[in-house]
Chains A and B, each alone.
Chain A
Amino acid sequence: DGGITQSPKYLFRKEGQNVTLSCEQNLNHDAMYWYRQDPGQGLRLIYYSQIVNDFQKGDIAEGYSVSREKKESFPLTVTSAQKNPTAFYLCASTVGTGPYEQYFGPGTRLTVT
Chain B
Amino acid sequence: GEDVEQSLFLSVREGDSSVINCTYTDSSSTYLYWYKQEPGAGLQLLTYIFSNMDMKQDQRLTVLLNKKDKHLSLRIADTQTGDSAIYFCAESSGGSQGNLIFGKGTKLSVKP
Contact = CB atoms under 8 A, between A and B. Distances in A.
Interface of A: 4, 6, 31, 33, 40-43, 45, 48, 50, 90, 92, 94, 96, 98-107, 109
A5 to B, nearest CB: 11
Chain A CB count within 10 A is highest, among B30, B31, B43, B104, for: B43
Given A42-B88, A42-B105, A43-B88, A100 B42 contact: no
Contacts, number: 56
Which of under 10, 10 to 19, 20 to 34, or 35 or more describes the interface residues of B? 20 to 34
Q: Decide if the interface of chain A is mainly helix, strand, loop or mixed.
A: strand
Contacts of B43: 43, 90, 92, 102, 104
Nearest to A6: B42
A107 B8 CA distance: 22
